[in-house]
Amino acid sequence: MLELARYEARRRLRGTVYLTVGLTLLAGMYIATFPSLAEGIDLDQFLEQMPEVFLELFNIATMNTIEGFLAAELYSIGWVLLLGLYVAYSGAGLIAGDIDRERMDVLLSLPISRARVLGEKFLGLFVPILVVNVVLPVVIYAGTAAIGYPIDPVNLTVVHLLAIPYLLACGAIGVVLSVLTSRSSVAQRGALVAIFGLFLFESVTIIADYEQLGSVAPMRYFDATAVLVEGSYDWAGGAILLGATALLVGASMLYFGRRDIA
């Protein structure tokens, strides 16, 4: 059982290690620079000079606290954008990649359904998502404690729990594109454009007072600033993202089960 999922998980281990190390270095850089910035200038006064579109784009509330600083610099960029792009890109190669490399015929010759092939491949995305969101909270808490600005461990844990459904939804968007085309490069580029476009669109709808339109973007339901700065947990948003993930992956299974891959 789940042999394909285990294979996909093993195949992603090396990339997951590189990703985790990269994010650890990024987090360490931001944490190390915070004390000198906080003591040298009033960061919130600096923010007042920034255009509203910039503040909405990166969901910035305050930068005078370690929580607000990390929410703006690390989570809005590292988690919402960069990790979202990474997982969507990975998801976009799940099916299209094997079709493009002419390996799908071998997989489909096995006594398993197409839906199971897609489902087990999608499970492989849990490896980078879970590892990053288990390792980085420990690194971030230890780092902030070391510089004398310890972050609230409960809020830190919750923000990484809520990041998991967000990243799964990004992966599901990639999966949809993966079953729509037989060329992995097209699917992967499309996934990058989709996530970045939704990131921009969600911010613009808030500024233009068309907030309801932005509800199609997964970013709407993952607010690191609200969790870290305000201690506000949007569990309903996490449930919506899980539901959207199930819907997108389920629809992809149905389409992949019927499409011609010759």
Write the pLDDT tens digit of every residue in 76-111.
Answer: 888 999 999 999 999 999 998 888 887 887 887 888
The Cα–Cα gap between 61 and 56 comes to 9
* 119: DSSP letter: H
Please check whether residue 241 is in contact with residue 166, taking contact to mean a CB–CB distance below 8 angstroms: yes
Confidence (pLDDT) at 180: 93
Cα separations (Å) of 185 from 93, 98, 107, 166? 8, 12, 20, 24
Q: Is the model more confident about 130 or about 207?
A: 130
DSSP string, 35-68: HHHHHHS-HHHHHTTS-HHHHHHTT-S-SSSHHH
**Residues 148-178, buried b or exposed e (16+ Cβ, 10 A)?**
ebebbeebbebbbebbbbbbbbbbbbbbbbb
Question: Residue 58: pLDDT above 90?
Answer: no
Q: pLDDT category, 188, cuts 50, 70, 90? A: very high
Highest averaged pLDDT of the listed ranges 7-11, 25-29, 208-212:
25-29
- Of 49-63, 100-114, 140-154, 180-194, the range with the lowest mean pLDDT is 49-63
Shortest CA distance to 124 belongs to which of 241, 4, 39? 4
For 121-127, what is the mean pLDDT? Answer: 95
Q: Does the pTM exceed 0.85?
A: yes
Confidence (pLDDT) at 53: 62
Confidence (pLDDT) at 43: 65
Ranges of each domain in the chain: 3-258
At 214-261, the pLDDT tens digits run 889 999 999 998 999 999 999 999 999 999 999 999 999 999 988 877
Please check whether residue 27 is in contact with residue 146, taking contact to mean a CB–CB distance below 8 angstroms: no
Cα separations (Å) of 88 from 30, 34, 80, 129, 205? 25, 31, 12, 11, 22
For 121-126, what is the mean pLDDT? Answer: 95
